[in-house]
Amino acid sequence: MLVLTDERFLEHVPGGGHPERPDRLQAVWEGFDRSGVAEGLLREPVIPATDELIKKVHSTAHFEGLATLNKQGGGKVDADTRMSPGSWDAARLAAGAGIQAVAALKEKRVTQAFCAIRPPGHHATPTQSMGFCLLNNVAITAAALTAEGKRVAIVDIDAHHGNGTQDVFWDDDQVLYVSCHQWPLFPGTGAINDTGAQKGQGFTVNVPLPPQAAGDTYRAAFDEVITPAVERFNPDWLLISAGFDAHRDDPLTSLGLTSGDYADLMTRLVALVPAYRSLIFLEGGYDLAALTESTAATVSALLGGSYQPEKATSAGPGLAVVQQVAERFKP
C-alpha cells in the first residue's frame, strides 16, 4: 500500500484549541506503525496540485481569495475554518495527493493507496471553504479522472455529509457520489431526496443515519444501497472519503462505530473494484485514540493483518432509513 503523507501537513495550525489539529495526522501515523503491517507500507512525500487541476473544481475567485489570505499570513476563512502561515501550502499538497496516488496505481507500483493528508476536503464547495476544509481533495482527483473520460465512484463515510463533493458533481453523470452520514448534523445537507439534477439525477445517493447507528446498520447500507449502486455504475475508479469521526468516541458526533467496524467497512469498499483502482482520503476523526486505532485496524485488514483492538458493533438504529433509501434506488 502506498501512503502519501508529508511533514508539511503539520504546518497547517488552525490554533485556539481547534479540533482539526496537527496531532490528528500524528495519530494516523501512529496507527500505521501500530497496524502490524508497517513493512507493507510504501511512504512517499506529496507533490502539490497545480493551479490548473485545482481550478477544475474551484472558482478563480475562491482560489485567489485563499492565496491572498495566505500572503497576509493567514486568518479566519469562516466561523469554523482558519488558515495559518503554512495552511495554503498544506492545502495544495493535500489536493495533489490523490493525483499522485492515481499515477502510482496506473503504473501498478502498488495495489492501493492511502492519502494521509490535512486539511480535509469534502466540505469545500466550488466557491467556498468551510467545515475545516480549504480545497476539496477528493473532488480534485475525481475531476482529473473524469477529464480523461473515466467514471468515478466516491463513497463518503465521514459522519458529516460531504456537501462540497455533492455540490461539485450534482449534475454530473460521470461521478457517483454516495454518502453515509449522521442526520441531523453539520452541514445540514444530505437528505434522502438529494439525488442530483439534470443528467446527474440519480447519481447522488444519501443515507442519513440517526445518532447511535452502529456497524450492523452500516453493513446493511453497504449490502442494500452502496454495493448495488456502485455495481450498477461500474466505475473505473473508487475514491473513499474516509472520515473516522463515526467512531463512538468522537467528540463532535454521535454515531456508534468502532475500529473493528472501520476495518470491515473499508475491506468491503475496496473489494468493489479491481486492484489498482481504489484510494483512500483522510477526512475527519477528532478523538486521537480512536483515530489511531481505526487507522491501524483499517490498514491491517486491507493488507491481510490481524490487528483489531475493538469488535464490530450491532444493535444500532437506522435500518428503516437504509430500507427507505434502498427502495428509492431500486432498479
Q: What are phi and psi of 276, to 5 degrees?
A: 75, 15
Q: What is the pLDDT of residues 149-188, one digit of tens each?
A: 999 999 999 999 999 999 999 999 999 999 999 999 999 9
* Spatial separation of the C-alpha atoms in residues 160 and 243, rounded to whole Å: 8
In this structure, what C-alpha cell is assigned to residue 208? 442519513
3-class DSSP string for 122-151: CCCCCCCCECCECCCHHHHHHHHHHCCCCC
Contacts of 222 (CB under 8 A, 6+ apart): 265, 268, 269
3-class DSSP string for 268-321: HHHCCCCCCCEEEEECCCCCHHHHHHHHHHHHHHHCCCCCCCCCCCCCCCCHHH
Q: Report domain extents, the chain.
A: 2-328
Q: What is the pLDDT of residues 98-148, one digit of tens each?
A: 999 999 999 999 999 999 999 999 999 999 999 999 999 999 999 999 999
Q: Which pTM value belongs to this model?
A: 0.98
pLDDT at 261: 98
| Active-site residue, 123 included | yes
pLDDT at 269: 98
Pair type for strands 113-115 and 278-282: parallel
Instruction: Indicate whether 331 pLDDT > 90.
Output: no
Q: What is the pLDDT of residues 28-57, one digit of tens each?
A: 999 999 999 999 999 999 999 999 999 999
Q: What is the pLDDT of residues 181-236, one digit of tens each?
A: 999 999 999 999 999 999 999 999 999 999 999 999 999 999 999 999 999 999 99
Specify the CATH class of 2-328 in words: alpha beta
Cβ 12 vs Cβ 124: under 8 Å = no
Cβ 233 vs Cβ 172: under 8 Å = no
* Spatial separation of the C-alpha atoms in residues 14 and 25, rounded to whole Å: 14
Which residue in the list 58, 123, 161, 247 is annotated as catalytic?
123
Dihedral sign for Cα 21, 82, 167, 175, please: negative
Q: What is the pLDDT of residues 239-292, one digit of tens each?
A: 999 999 999 999 999 999 999 999 999 999 999 999 999 999 999 999 999 999
Instruction: Indicate whether 318 pLDDT > 90.
Output: yes
* Spatial separation of the C-alpha atoms in residues 52 and 121, rounded to whole Å: 18
Residue 79: pLDDT band with limits 50, 70, 90: very high
